[in-house]
Structure 1
Amino acid sequence: MTRVLEPRPRLHVATADFDGALRHLDRRDVPATAGMPGWRAREYLAGRSLLRHLLRTAAAALDAAVAVRPSGQPWLPGLPGTFVSISHSGGRVAAALGPRPVGVDIQTVTTASEALLRRCCPPATATALRATAPARRAALLARVWTAQEASVKVFGRGLAAAPWRIPVDPYAPTGSWRGITWERLTAGPRHALAVAYASPQHREQEPS
């Protein structure tokens, strides 16, 4: 089933499992998967399909062209002022669309290794998470990572921007970092989901 949220006016986030997303498949996206391994082609098409569904339902953009920047960030050359993002993990996919630069991240909740705790959390937060039960610790760490990753995806910087340096309170529903606001969204017990978006004054900083 495809689920669409609107956490802020005109900011839409859709989630689905791969099968649900692929029900919205647009054959125009299939040629781009030539040469991809099967798993990667399915992942790619699930992301593009969910994004196209969101474009049709939230922006009435039936035939929008979707391009990709050198960083891998999707963008809409025919729709200036409309920004998009895609993420996938563990058989689920998320897509976001909004009037300002936007990033979305979904992650499967697995385990919270000591290395990830040290990398993604300041010492006080890491210490607090170590005191929680393993399953709870994994869910809280996934909250941290999705907020960090969504934030750096706003301008297509990904891991190169060292997202683990962004301070995130795992118990907070929202937070901000350098003019970017992130929000935690509901994604079910096995996944964490976050969306981030730029403040109005950051709008012109979208990379070319």
Structure 2
Amino acid sequence: MTSAAVDTAFRSIAPGRIHRWGGAALIVARRSGLHRAPVLSPAEQRVVRALPAWRQAEWAAGRLLAKQLVGEAVGAPAPDVEILPREDGSPCVVVGGSPVPALNVSISHTAHHVAAALAPEPVGVDLCEAVSAAAVRRVADHVLSPGELSLVGTDRPEVLAGAWALKEAAVKADRSGIFGAAARRIVILGLRPPVLGGRRRAMVWRAGDAVLALVLAHPAAPPS
């Protein structure tokens, strides 16, 4: 892998509306542009009240977008849609009080942006602001292999943010964590177009001053 293989010009994605890619629905918005609160069920209210005060607003913003995607997909009114955490913390779709395992949702937020994705297969979405590249650079060797670092480089903030967002979105789709062996097993083969090892499809966009990555994971076929 060589640095010449990387093109830093990620395509822009428009905020505030639902986009379609690879069978997934995706929406991203600036948090300052969200002027209404989501309709939260009693169970969701219990979850948000247990969070630190600084986390409550971003948690609610993510649920607002996720509920919009689910409501549009199944034709359910907002009060019937819940986005509740599983035991591992990943979000689970509940409609009318019943889990909907055929729908997979992922949520991401930064200080200024929020995004949600919905798909029939395992999905991960992640935002990383370019200004966070310095922080990413400090921990990059825990997540990126020497070959990936050679491909990505560490002197281009947007590219480094894109690589981090790709890894984060991929481990979300796998319902694992960014630190540890799981992230190192997911290999970045390219950024434009984004290519990951394994049975995964990926895309990266620029969303304002952030980079947005979407990863769709295909579970391995059962043995015959």
TM-score above 0.5: yes
Looking at both structures, which has the greater relative contact order when contacts are Cα pairs under 8 Å and sequence separation is at least 6?
Answer: 2
1:66: Cα distance to partner? 2.4
Counterpart of 2:27 (choices 3, 6, 14) is 14
| 1:72 aligned residue | 89
Counterpart of 1:148 (choices 167, 189, 194) is 167
**Aligned pairs for 1:29-44 within 5 A:** 29-44=44-59
Q: 1:129 to 1:82 in 2, by over 3 A?
A: closer
**Correspondence 1:106 to 2:114:** no
Question: Is the CA contact (8 Å cut-off) linking 1:74 and 1:84 kept in structure 2?
Answer: yes
1:13: Cα distance to partner? 0.8
| 1:119 aligned residue | 142
Residue 97 of structure 1 aligns to a residue whose secondary structure is strand
Give unpaired runs (5+ residues) of structure 2: 1-14
Give unpaired runs (5+ residues) of structure 1: none
Q: 1:106 to 1:32 in 2, by over 3 A?
A: same
CA distance in 1, matches of 2:34, 2:159: 27
Question: Is the CA contact (8 Å cut-off) linking 1:147 and 1:194 kept in structure 2?
Answer: yes
Count of residues in correspondence between the two structures: 197
Please say which of residues 40-49 and 154-163 is displaced more in the overlay.
Answer: 154-163
| 1:96 aligned residue | 117
Taking structure 2 as the reference length, the TM-score comes to 0.75
Residue 156 of structure 1 aligns to a residue whose secondary structure is coil
Amino acid at match of 2:206: T
CA distance in 1, matches of 2:106, 2:25: 11
Residue 106 of structure 1 aligns to a residue whose secondary structure is strand
Residue 25 of structure 1 aligns to a residue whose secondary structure is coil
